[in-house]
Amino acid sequence: MLLLFSYYTHLYAQKVTCKLQDKKLDEISGLGCSKKNPNILWMHNDSGDGSYVFGINDSTGKLVATLNYSREVRDCEDMAMDYKDNSIYIGDIGDNNAKRKYIAIYKMSEPALSYKEKKQQIAVNASALYLKYPDGPRDAETLMIDPVEKLLYIVSKREDSVSVYTAPLNYKSNDTITLKRMCRLHFNGFGFSKWITAGDISADGTQILLKNYTNVYYWKRKNHEPVWQTMQRKPVELPYTMEKQGEAICFTPNGMGYFTTSEGKAQPVYYYEAPKQSAQ
């Protein structure tokens, strides 16, 4: 079967939009692009940090706001944005030794920021969803929201063939739910370089990204097929500037581009144009 890449004949624009300026931003693992607050990127550190979400200016890299959702977190590894109600979801889903009985998702409403104030400190309430894997504990660093079927997606990290799980997006605070395992995905590569470290679904549900330490993978959804079915097709590998330890990716609200950044101090934030069409 011939796979055509005719829509990738142009070079995608890639640029460094800023470098992270605050020393607190040293282990960024989750990334989300605000629609409510223009030019703001939300991000968080992974294990070792508290329950904080940082808002930075996407052109200067300066810290604008810190949200504190006052939860005892263990290893937050990814975030997802729900633009329908301007919510931020934080995935406390890291589990390096695969021993956690439950993982957690925290949902909070995105506040409106004051651009006159510097380094705002904002307390926010967060509802919790507790999740259990149907096939035993595992490490994960990818949390995504499918706005079409209203599902949370989690993709495991470390297996040779990673697993894809779902849970309802609509839940009651403090619910405990067993995830549904939908499929497995295999990516070429060796060792830790192939571990899946981040992902995102565009706000209209038509585009999907997954990344590891060396590649960014892209799918175009056909009609309203389930995301897990879309990801079983062969992905297109998008241009990617290798980062120090790249564990964060997110679409812009309009789906026309995406951002990436890495763990480490004073790391650059990259912007890429998204593909214009779909490969068949």
User: Cα(83)–Cα(253) distance, rounded to whole angstroms?
Assistant: 8
Give which of 63, 34, 61, 30 is closest to 262, Cα–Cα: 30
Domain 12-273 in this protein, CATH class? mainly beta
Low-confidence residues of the chain: pLDDT under 50: 1-11, 278-280
User: Cα(169)–Cα(151) distance, rounded to whole angstroms?
Assistant: 5
pLDDT value at position 277? 55
pLDDT value at position 1? 28
What are the φ and ψ backbone dihedral angles of 147, each rounded to 5 degrees? -75, -15
The SS3 call for residue 1 is: coil
Burial class (CB in 10 A: 0-12, 13-18, 19+), 204: middle
For the segment 43-55, what is each residue's pLDDT rounded down to a tens digit? 999 987 899 999 9
Give which of 230, 33, 35, 259 is closest to 149, Cα–Cα: 230
Tokens representing 178 are 């067993």
Q: For residue 152, give Cα distances in angstroms to 44, 59, 86, 112, 145.
A: 19, 30, 16, 25, 5
For the segment 2-28, what is each residue's pLDDT rounded down to a tens digit? 233 333 333 455 799 999 999 999 999
Domain boundaries, the chain: 12-273
pLDDT value at position 2? 28
The SS3 call for residue 168 is: strand
pLDDT value at position 280? 37
For the segment 186-228, what is each residue's pLDDT rounded down to a tens digit? 998 888 888 999 999 999 999 999 999 999 999 999 988 999 9
With beta carbons less than 8 A apart as the criterion, state whether 210 and 200 touch.
Answer: no
The SS3 call for residue 84 is: coil
With beta carbons less than 8 A apart as the criterion, state whether 91 and 77 touch.
Answer: yes
User: Cα(20)–Cα(24) distance, rounded to whole angstroms?
Assistant: 9
pLDDT value at position 120? 95
pLDDT value at position 190? 82
